[in-house]
Amino acid sequence: MRVVEYEGASGKAAVGVVVGDGVCDLTARYPGKARCVHHLLQSPDWHTLLEPDLVADVALDEIRFLPLLADTGRVFAAGLNYPKKSPAGEQPPTPTFPPWFSKVPGTLVGHGQALLAPSVSTTFDYEAELAAVLGRGGRHIAVADAPGLVGGWTCFNDGSVREWQRHSVNAGKNFERSGSIGPWLVTADEIPDPQNLRLMARVDGELRQDASTAEMIFSVAEIISYLSQAIELRPGDVIATGSPEGTGGSFDPPRYLIAGQTVEIEIEKIGVLRNPVIAETPA
């Protein structure tokens, strides 16, 4: 099933399940268990709320998508997880362990919302990624057990400002409204093999990235297991799993994003995450 976070009738976040061309409002039905997607995932029985006979309350094309878990869940992102040239510098060696960084609240927007091309740099880039959303937490998780923690999957655009990424990874990865997540969470039962999905990025309709998650250096399960050795993972954590060749910085000359363009991230069995790019207006 597809679970969305959107702006409800009250103007606050709401949780919905996509039913055909509409959305069933779970927040109205279960306010004590589904104020937002993060709240939903805290209930051990959250799957039982996604009933097969739900009825739509609002048309899908009428809702305003919110960034799935971006302001409530923690976001961990793996780097250098596909064989490729480095858009931020020299060709990196193949990592021995999964390098990772965090993305802070405010960094990610939802489906259809605008990305901000920063006023301080012209090196704004896109990165198409598969993201796992945890439905269970844990510590010191074995690789074999890691898939059991995943509640669902979504599309992720790890927006990056390459010039600032050379200052530090976190500097370049956490610009305001630079990346996106969504449009929805596809429950784990819909995707039995996350290591066999086609992943694409398009800019104004032009295909820039086109790869398979089979090309990952570290599998999703290996990334989850590695993170859990250091961190107590929690339901609602988002784990982005790296991006393949074809980002704007990998072209010669580079083809960075500019205002007026539209970025689409598409992943097989999940859908399309689409965002326009606008110029940041300094205060």
> pLDDT tens, position by position, for the chain (283 residues)?
999 999 988 888 999 999 999 999 999 999 999 999 999 999 999 999 998 889 999 999 999 999 999 788 899 999 999 997 655 555 668 899 999 999 999 999 999 999 999 999 999 999 999 999 999 999 999 999 999 999 999 999 999 999 999 999 999 999 999 999 999 999 999 999 999 999 999 999 999 999 999 999 999 999 999 999 999 999 999 999 999 999 999 999 999 999 999 999 999 999 999 999 999 987 6
Tokens of 174: 């956490």
Cα–Cα distance measured from residue 281 to residue 188, given in angstroms and rounded to the nearest whole number? 40
Query: Peptide bond before 52: cis, by omega within 30 degrees of 0?
Result: no
CA distance 84 to 91: 8
User: Whole-model pTM?
Assistant: 0.96
- Gap between the terminal Cα atoms of the chain: 42
Q: Which domains can be identified in the chain, with CATH numbers? A: 2-62 (no CATH), 75-279 (3.90.850.10)
Per the DSSP assignment, residues forming a β-bridge with 233 are 138
b (16+ CB within 10 A) / e for 62-100: ebebbbbbbbbbbbbbbbbbbebeebbeeeeeeeeebbb
Q: Cα 4 to chain center, whole Å?
A: 13
